[in-house]
Structure 1
Amino acid sequence: MWADDRLPPMQPQRRKASKPLARLHQRWADNDQYSHANNVVYSLYFDSITNFYLINHVPRPTPTSPPPLGLIVSSSTAYASSVAYPSPVIAALGVSSLGKSSVTWRIALFEGEYVEPASLSSATETSSLAGWTLQDVTSGNGGVGRQVRLKSSSGGEPARAAAYGDMVHVFVDPDSRRPLPDGMDPALRAALQKLQVEQ
């Protein structure tokens, strides 16, 4: 589900479809009275995507040493369009800067759509899909084996992010809550460097 190679630079609102990194299934409760995902939900998606990456790509520390805490110290989100239940959300994740004990994430969320596997074979290489898909085996919208892809746009336009932004994690000592004096663990740094994007 995650790319191991570097991502291309993430444009604020528009970028050609590169490798999607993860998919999220919206819940009915994510929508507000305006029938779209509430703004605060996008922050939850940002937090979920970054932590999913950390949990699945950073080796667990030894039991003798408590793991550092990753605290969010700032975040910003720009909203370009809305997403609504039951559409899935496709997230792209990058790292724009690495400090001694901090990381600045770049995140873009795109509206996706569920399609039957047969529908994907008809996608052409010139479409915004460029031949990639994500297997969806846990769909809450009926049907094991359906696929998730970027929602088709009119006129073959490149996919546009519904929301995009930055989030800063600082890794701190769990007792003092101060930044790690020796900086982040080399395994953590190596995992984050895999996602570095150009400014």
Structure 2
Amino acid sequence: MDPYPLDHYPHTKELQTRWMDNDIYGHVNNVVYYSYFDTVVNSYLIENKGLDIHESPIIGLVIETQCTYLAPIEFPMDITAGLKVSHLGNSSVRYEIGLFTKDPLKPVAQGYFVHVYVDRNTRKPTPIPDTLRQILKPLVKRSL
């Protein structure tokens, strides 16, 4: 995946690194990037009333992830996370995320994860409800 600039993503969210994110080598540990990915996706869904994490009859389970690390980040740093949807299927969504610090043209990391929406109780895949689909549609943007 070629690096995309920040304006490639229809939604952005400001994040900050935390003291606990740094590892012994003085930079944010690789696993923490995935928590930033999770934060930008789920905060978008919750803030736009697309998902009630406590009561919704469906939940999104992450079934695949990938991250390409392009430059280190550390504490303290401000991060802008860009979010888009590259695939909106019957029961699955592929979210693409870019993380940026100072330069909106050069991500420090980018990657994706895939949610499969399942019934909360049975854990069987279920179609994405229309209300959630309408919230995700503004994020759909074809790759350049």
* TM, length-normalised to structure 1: 0.65
- Aligned-pair distance for 1:12? 3.1
**Is the radius of gyration larger for structure 1 or structure 2?**
1
Gaps of 5+ in 2: none
Question: How big is the shift at 1:59?
Answer: 4.5
Native 8 Å contact 2:6 2:98 kept in 1: no
**What's the counterpart of residue 194 of structure 1?**
138
Per the alignment, do residues 17 and 171 of structure 1 end up closer, same or farther by CA in structure 2, a change over 3 Å counting? Answer: closer
Q: Is it true that 1:70 corresponds to 2:30 in the alignment? A: no
The equivalences for 1:67-106 within 5 A come to 67-106=57-96
The runs of at least 4 consecutive aligned structure 1 residues that moved more than 2 Å come to 16-20, 58-61
> Cα RMSD (Å) of the superposition?
2.1
- Asked if 1 retains the 8 angstrom alpha-carbon contact of 2:11 and 2:84, the reply is no
Please give the alpha-carbon distance, in whole angstroms, between the structure 2 residues aligned to 1:17 and 1:51. Answer: 20
Question: Given the alignment, which residue of 99, 104, 110 partners 1:164?
Answer: 110
Task: State whether residues 102 and 171 of structure 1, in contact with CA within 8 Å, keep that contact through their aligned partners in structure 2.
Answer: yes
Corresponding residue pairs, total: 141
Aligned with 1:177 (options 116, 123, 126): 123
5+ residue gaps, structure 1: 1-10, 112-150, 153-157
SS of residue paired to 1:21: strand
More strand by share: 2
Choose between structure 1 and 2: higher helix proportion: 2
TM-score (norm. length: structure 2): 0.89
CA distance in 2, matches of 1:66, 1:198: 29
Indicate the residue corresponding to 1:22 in structure 2. 13
